């Protein structure tokens, strides 16, 4: 009997009766036949032995292993205790409800005693399989974080210099005027008087492109090259005479990509003089200013007084890092210690001179107005009885750094702040606590003199403070830390895989040029930084410039990075033994780095590439005997590594690096094969909820510095709010992600329906990107396919996903409602976009692909629509003209309709445009655009995974690992075959265990080796005319244990098998399709 569809609480209520009926409870049957049945890989929230969980409804999972075929779990009993001793004694005190009839070994929600802060849970599971064999798992653990605000005793301590504090106290006062009706510029004047001559420092900014004048003379200020967003505050110094002066701003009316989200024209200035600071409250503004408007003598009495803006950030200029420390004593031996830490900024923490972890750039990117992610670290080994010290270097991180397009400090005002709580449990059971408070000390300068995500880092090793995080340290320049203002955000535990170094890359070549410039090629585009080893004189500076590509002259080419500096400047301290440097508060996307200032070329031993990523376990690898298909996956894998960086970014290199939802929406199918994306998705969906609009609109990217959703929700982008949870539910059987996001998903679906009652998505389509970067587009978002067609297709896909999730989560009425919605959308789509001859929309490939793949073409017209799609592909020279939304579904749409040869024509193509073309041009990651090697550098990433989304098709339809039931309880092996591909397959670590497919197709014979994990069943589709033409391990199918013949489906014989290893041989045509 399967309990997959039963309510857990109902099951547990009857668990006692079940145990009695079984004769004896599983808890008393601890002896097991280990060779016959094993219980392994126990996880909580998809993680092994996590610490710091903050969900009461913790989800548990495990896997079964057995050498026997057809093994399924029939019953299980979870036991949990507050100590290992209680569990081993058979007296679990947290959960001991008896056995439950269920096949599921994943998504078991916690139904034991309520969990408490800091509680460590020891748990195991006892299972019985279909043959009556019993097995008991090893003991596993999980540990809770802090569940109540009262558990926190830490205070936010701030980090800033006295000069910064005084500047920020005066503030950047933004003054505004309305956008202009004729799209002309708006002008601002700020008059101020100086009692005596002297040096002044000007802080100036505007919320769109602007020009600055001082006393009628234009002031040159830095302007970012094609910056994706507003220019940051400019800082200039002038010596001015006594008397009246005027700052003048000409600010363009906002336009272009960011224009719709900028609802005013605003400027700000702060003038620092000796002894006082002048702000911009007295600004005056006008449109169509006359000649001489910027001069000090101009009479602006008829100009309107500018009004104060409430919407602009305190975007103060970039700074370096700060150092914070505290000493403390522990009077007793330590049994366990946990450090819980977050920041408004990013921290690198040490205890007693040792770094607490290799975690980088923590806390990760989030909307700090709503959420600050804290991590819990096991620091037991770093503490000792007696004197101890803790220290943290605090940089701008994701809080203070420029966050496109909103700018610096997009999620809250400065200063940077640190929040930490060290909890020590002693061997006698007592506790000590050390938290951020007034007893900490601050050093306002550090070796990191400048640092920002896009900028890079400048590091002066002469400013290092040896021993600063050890007890007994004494040095000048440290002052008491101040308690800062507590931010409005909630503290949320981050227990998923952190950002950390995952691989070292050796230099493939080192090329030297005149001027002491040396270019290192690592042979692979990736995200991270380099480690540099150097010797030199104190004060000698070494520059590192990062790039994805080289210019024609062999030098690094940073043109596609736009305004991102992407460089490090390291100043040596002069250590004769040598010094080693890695950056702390930035990262880069690059293949090449130019080293200059070293005085010679570095050797291969002196420079290494450090690959950095969210450290997701890799779970899938295709085994395809074709360099193009295997290379496509490898490039996709590297783009996933590079862009799964706390959030799923679009690119790792230019002045963007945002959690674009359109890229994620189409790529998650592929992503969930290559890596375990469960915990990563749960964490990112928090960002999606934080960024959701008041009407239910999911964002274009998350976190979002600008929360403006007035335009609506962008089809294919906003749908990620539904498709990401759906993918995780489908792959891992995880209903927790469904339940935790159900209110947000239903709000989104209601928003679309309320705005489009006729079931064609015509209204409130956000930025309406369409089939972004389609081949025929002159501009990336050109309407090469009707955008209301695309929107309606995406709505249908989300409705289907909602219906499936609702059934999986036992929400039957809602499932029926979404199933009806899907039918209504299908009917409306057919009426609006499908003609009687099977043509769809404007005849674009994208229109056909989405309509066919999402079931929007009436059954009787699918053949005609497919023929028109195939004809257009061939008419163009057998190539795709699709972009971000059409390409990911193209191969599925063709394969669904039997166009197998055309699938391989596209997969194996090496001419432009194709995946093979990228590989032929030396690509080691997926390009943003088909024509990246010919396109505009300002939007041209060479590390952008969206067009690599078809690697999901490679796993499902080439390798033959296609999930049918959530969590791979059932999956299909039905590879798309072609004579040009003699062998294929893949290995995938599913939530139930390893799935392996290996097949060969040649000389009239098809061979397949399949490994099906315990608790799973596979539908196997073989190219054979009948069961008589197939053998399993040399046996006729009726004689093969665990094999059930289902029947014929087209030209495939369909059979079902349970767990185990199978070897099939099918005699048939030499090139079955």
Distance CA 779, CA 773 (A): 7
Q: Are strands 371-378 and 490-493 parallel, antiparallel or unpaired?
A: parallel
Site of tokens 């009425």: 813
Q: In what order do the strands lie in the sheet with 284-287?
A: 217-219, 210-214, 243-251, 186-194, 284-287, 304-305
Element of type H or E holding 589: strand 588-596
Other beta carbons within 10 angstroms of residue 1029's beta carbon come to: 16
Peptide bond between residue 703 and the one before it cis (omega within 30 degrees of 0) = yes
Distance between start and end Cα atoms, the chain: 38
Q: Are strands 120-129 and 73-81 parallel, antiparallel or unpaired?
A: antiparallel
Distance CA 70, CA 1013 (A): 9
Element of type H or E holding 665: helix 661-674
Other beta carbons within 10 angstroms of residue 249's beta carbon come to: 27
Distance CA 992, CA 65 (A): 9
Query: What is the separation of C-alpha 996 from the centre of its chain, rounded to a whole number of angstroms?
Result: 28
Token code pair at residue 247: 């700052």
In angstroms and rounded to an integer, the radius of gyration of the C-alpha atoms of the chain is 31
Distance CA 339, CA 435 (A): 9
Other beta carbons within 10 angstroms of residue 147's beta carbon come to: 18
CB distance 977 to 1023 below 8 Å: yes
Distance CA 693, CA 691 (A): 6
- Which ranges of 930-977 would DSSP assign to H, the alpha helix? 951-953
Distance CA 249, CA 189 (A): 7
Q: 753 — phi, psi (to 5°)?
A: -65, -40
The active-site residue out of 350, 396, 452, 928 is 928
Sign for the CA dihedral angle at 24, 120, 47, 31 comes to: negative
Query: What is the separation of C-alpha 647 from the centre of its chain, rounded to a whole number of angstroms?
Result: 2
Distance CA 785, CA 5 (A): 41
Site of tokens 């366990």: 336
Q: Are strands 186-194 and 284-287 parallel, antiparallel or unpaired?
A: antiparallel
Token code pair at residue 708: 């403006």
The active-site residue out of 252, 264, 548, 656 is 656
Distance CA 998, CA 1011 (A): 9
Distance CA 382, CA 376 (A): 14
Task: Using CB atoms within 10 Å of the CB of residue 321, give its burial: 0 to 12 exposed, 13 to 18 middle, 19+ buried.
Answer: buried
Query: What is the separation of C-alpha 490 from the centre of its chain, rounded to a whole number of angstroms?
Result: 20
Distance CA 405, CA 403 (A): 6
Distance CA 672, CA 76 (A): 28
DSSP states of 796-846 as a string? Answer: HHHHHHHHHHHHHTT-HHHHHHHHHHHHHHHHHHHHHHB-TTS-BTTS-HH
697 annotated active-site = no
| Range list of β-strands (E), 615-749 | 620-622, 644-645, 647-648
Largest CA distance in the chain: 103
928 annotated active-site = yes
Distance CA 78, CA 135 (A): 12
Token code pair at residue 663: 């890229």
As annotated, the active-site residues are 656, 928
């Amino acid at each position: 009997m399967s309990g997959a569809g039963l309510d857990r609480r109902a099951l547990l209520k009857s668990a006692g009766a079940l145990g009695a009926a079984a004769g004896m409870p599983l808890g008393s049957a601890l002896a097991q036949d280990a060779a016959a049945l094993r219980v392994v890989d126990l996880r909580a929230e998809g993680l092994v032995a996590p610490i710091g969980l903050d969900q009461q409804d913790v989800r548990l999972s495990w896997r079964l292993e057995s050498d026997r075929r057809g093994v399924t779990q029939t019953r299980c009993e979870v036991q949990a205790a507050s100590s290992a001793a209680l569990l081993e004694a058979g007296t679990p005190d947290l959960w001991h409800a008896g056995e439950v009839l269920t096949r599921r070994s994943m998504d078991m929600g916690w139904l034991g005693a309520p969990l408490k802060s800091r509680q460590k849970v020891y748990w195991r599971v006892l299972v019985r399989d279909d043959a009556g064999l019993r097995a008991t798992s090893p003991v596993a653990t999980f540990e809770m974080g802090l569940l109540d605000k009262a558990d926190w005793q830490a205070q936010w301590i701030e980090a800033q210099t006295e000069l910064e504090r005084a500047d920020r106290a005066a503030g950047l006062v933004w003054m505004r005027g309305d956008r202009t009706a004729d799209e002309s510029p708006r002008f601002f004047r700020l008059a101020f008087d100086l009692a005596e001559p002297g040096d002044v420092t000007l802080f100036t900014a505007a919320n769109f492109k602007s020009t600055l004048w001082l006393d009628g003379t234009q002031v040159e200020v830095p302007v970012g090259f094609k910056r994706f967003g507003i220019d940051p505050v400019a800082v200039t110094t002038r010596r001015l005479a006594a008397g009246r002066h005027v700052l003048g701003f000409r600010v363009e009316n906002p336009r272009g990509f960011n224009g719709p989200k900028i609802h005013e024209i605003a400027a700000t200035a702060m003038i620092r003089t000796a002894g006082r600071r002048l702000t911009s409250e007295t600004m005056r503004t006008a449109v169509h200013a006359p000649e001489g408007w910027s001069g000090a003598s101009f009479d602006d009495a008829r100009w309107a007084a500018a009004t104060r803006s409430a919407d602009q950030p305190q975007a103060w200029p970039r700074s370096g890092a700060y150092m914070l420390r505290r000493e403390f004593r522990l009077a007793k031996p330590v049994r366990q210690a946990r450090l819980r830490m977050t920041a408004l900024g990013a921290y690198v923490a040490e205890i007693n001179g040792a770094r607490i972890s290799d975690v980088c750039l923590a806390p990760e990117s989030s909307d700090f107005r709503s959420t600050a992610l804290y991590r819990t670290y096991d620091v037991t080994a770093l503490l000792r009885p007696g004197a101890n010290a803790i220290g943290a270097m605090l940089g701008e991180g994701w809080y203070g750094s420029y966050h496109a397009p909103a700018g610096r400090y997009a999620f809250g005002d400065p200063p940077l702040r640190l929040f930490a709580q060290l909890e020590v449990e002693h061997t006698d059971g007592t506790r000590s606590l050390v938290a951020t408070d007034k007893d900490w000390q601050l050093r306002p300068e550090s070796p990191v003199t400048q640092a920002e995500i896009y900028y890079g880092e400048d590091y002066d090793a002469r400013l290092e403070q040896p021993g600063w995080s050890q007890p007994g340290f004494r040095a000048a320049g440290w002052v008491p830390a101040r308690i800062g203002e507590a931010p409005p955000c909630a503290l949320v535990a981050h227990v998923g895989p952190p950002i950390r170094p995952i691989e070292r890359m050796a230099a493939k070549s080192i090329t030297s040029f005149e001027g002491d410039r040396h270019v290192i090629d690592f042979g692979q585009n990736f995200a991270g930084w380099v480690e540099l080893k150097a010797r030199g004189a104190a004060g000698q500076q070494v520059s590192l410039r990062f790039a994805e590509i080289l210019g024609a002259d062999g030098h690094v080419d940073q043109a596609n990075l736009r305004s991102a500096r992407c460089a490090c400047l390291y100043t040596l301290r002069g250590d004769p033994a040598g010094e080693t440097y890695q950056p702390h508060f930035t990262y880069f996307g690059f293949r090449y780095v130019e080293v200059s200032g070293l005085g010679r070329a570095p050797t291969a031993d002196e420079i290494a590439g450090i690959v950095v990523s969210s450290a997701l376990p890799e779970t899938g690898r295709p085994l395809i005997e074709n360099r193009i298909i295997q290379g496509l996956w490898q490039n996709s894998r590297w783009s996933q590594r590079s862009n799964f960086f706390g959030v799923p970014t679009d690119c790792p290199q230019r002045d963007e690096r945002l959690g674009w939802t359109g890229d994620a929406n189409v790529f998650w199918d592929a992503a969930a094969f290559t890596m375990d994306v469960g915990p990563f998705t749960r964490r990112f969906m928090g960002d999606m909820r934080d960024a959701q609009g008041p009407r239910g609109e999911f964002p274009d990217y998350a976190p979002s510095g600008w929360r403006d959703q007035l335009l609506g929700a962008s089809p294919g982008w906003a749908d990620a709010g539904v498709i990401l949870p759906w993918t995780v539910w489908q792959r891992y059987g995880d209903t927790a992600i469904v339940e935790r996001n159900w209110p947000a998903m239903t709000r989104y679906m209601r928003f679309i329906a309320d705005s489009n009652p006729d079931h064609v998505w015509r209204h409130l389509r956000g930025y309406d990107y369409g089939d972004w970067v389609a081949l025929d587009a002159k501009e990336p978002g050109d309407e090469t396919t009707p955008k209301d067609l695309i929107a309606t297709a995406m709505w249908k896909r989300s409705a289907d996903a909602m219906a499936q999730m609702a059934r999986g989560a036992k929400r039957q009425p809602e499932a029926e409602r979404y199933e009806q919605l899907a039918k209504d959308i299908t009917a409306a789509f057919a009426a609006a976009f499908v003609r009687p001859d099977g043509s769809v929309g404007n005849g674009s490939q994208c229109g056909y692909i989405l309509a066919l793949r999402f079931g929007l073409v009436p059954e009787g017209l699918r053949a005609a629509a497919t023929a028109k799609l195939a004809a257009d592909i061939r008419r163009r020279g057998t190539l795709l003209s699709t972009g971000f939304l059409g390409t990911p579904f193209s191969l599925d749409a063709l394969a669904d309709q039997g166009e197998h040869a055309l699938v391989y024509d596209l997969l194996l193509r090496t001419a432009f445009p194709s995946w093979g073309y990228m590989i032929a041009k030396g690509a080691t990651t997926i390009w943003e655009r088909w024509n990246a090697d010919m396109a505009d550098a300002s939007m041209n990433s060479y590390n952008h995974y969206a067009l690599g989304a078809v690697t999901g098709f490679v796993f499902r339809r080439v390798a033959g690992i296609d999930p049918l039931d959530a969590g791979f309880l059932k999956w299909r092996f039905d590879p798309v075959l072609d004579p040009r591909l003699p062998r294929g397959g893949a290995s995938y670590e599913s939530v139930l265990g390893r799935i392996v497919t290996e097949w060969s197709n040649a000389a009239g014979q098809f061979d397949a080796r399949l490994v099906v994990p315990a608790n799973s069943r596979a539908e196997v589709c073989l190219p054979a005319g009948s069961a008589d033409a197939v053998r399993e391990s040399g046996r006729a199918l009726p004689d093969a244990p665990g094999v059930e013949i289902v029947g014929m489906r087209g030209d495939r014989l369909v059979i079902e098998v349970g767990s185990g290893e199978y070897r099939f041989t099918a005699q048939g045509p030499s090139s079955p399709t």
